[in-house]
Chains A and B, each alone.
Chain A
Amino acid sequence: GQQLNQSPQSMFIQEGEDVSMNCTSSSIFNTWLWYKQDPGEGPVLLIALYKAGELTSNGRLTAQFGITRKDSFLNISASIPSDVGIYFCAGQLYSGAGSYQLTFGKGTKLSVIP
């Protein structure tokens, strides 16, 4: 089945630093999504990307959909303590019979040192 390789697995950074994480896949996806998950909660969507090469920003977050449609990165600028959490990439492909399945990476755990 489809697999997403997300890296790094974890990061420890100083408050104010920029962060970069990425996902690669052996398969092509139609859509790339980035989520953040806080402890005890479900993932919350940060950014959705629909076109190869698309670069999208949401506040301090910037994400890009790779030209090959097999990769994506997420950047966080000027990190703050509330950025702490687990970030997941997810690729979406129409799987037929009206079903849109999301394939998730294993997550990047971000820790911010004040």
Chain B
Amino acid sequence: GAGVSQSPSNKVTEKGKDVELRCDPISGHTALYWYRQRLGQGLEFLIYFQGNSAPDKSGLPSDRFSAERTGESVSTLTIQRTQQEDSAVYLCASSPWDSTTNEKLLFGSGTQLSVL
């Protein structure tokens, strides 16, 4: 597709269960970000991947959160033992790694996670 694709679009889970969220970036985009957006709030940075470099994990809120990316393709964000405070929209964004990185950062529509 032409845009950043995220799945599922909605996920309802029970407290304590693990969830896996998927992001398909735009082909050729080497940079990939995950952000969390709580209701009525701005976006919180979680993790950043750039090519084969070590990811910047400085935004992950706890060790229950992890993310992987295979090369320059799909990324998965995993939340283990979900808590109610994990309920939020999880947004993925990708961009090319060049001087136009800012202008070409494109977001997916997000995964709405609800933890009951």
Contact = CB atoms under 8 A, between A and B. Distances in A.
Interface residues of B, number: 27
A43 B45 contact: no
Contact of B53 (A90, A98, A103, A107): A98
Nearest to B6: A42
Contact of B107 (A31, A43, A106): A43
A68 B6 CA distance: 38
B43 A102 contact: yes
Q: Is the interface of B mostly helix, strand, loop or mixed?
A: loop
Given A40-B109, A104-B43, A107-B42, A95 B56 contact: yes
Contacts of A105: 42
A110 to B, nearest CB: 14
Q: Is the interface of A mostly helix, strand, loop or mixed?
A: strand
Contact of A97 (B43, B56, B101, B103): B56
A42 B48 CA distance: 17
A92 B93 CA distance: 15
A41 to B, nearest CB: 5
Contacts of A28: none
Contact of B43 (A41, A88, A100): A88
Contacts of A45: 102-103, 105
Counting chain A CB atoms within 10 Å of each CB, which of B42, B45, B58, B105 scores highest? B42
A42 B56 contact: no
A6 to B, nearest CB: 8
Contacts of A88: 42-43
Contact of B42 (A31, A44, A100, A104): A104
Contacts of B43: 43, 88, 90, 102, 104
A101 B47 CA distance: 9
A42 B42 contact: no
Contact of B45 (A41, A97, A101): A101
Interface of A: 4, 6, 31, 33, 40-45, 48, 88, 90, 92, 95, 97-107
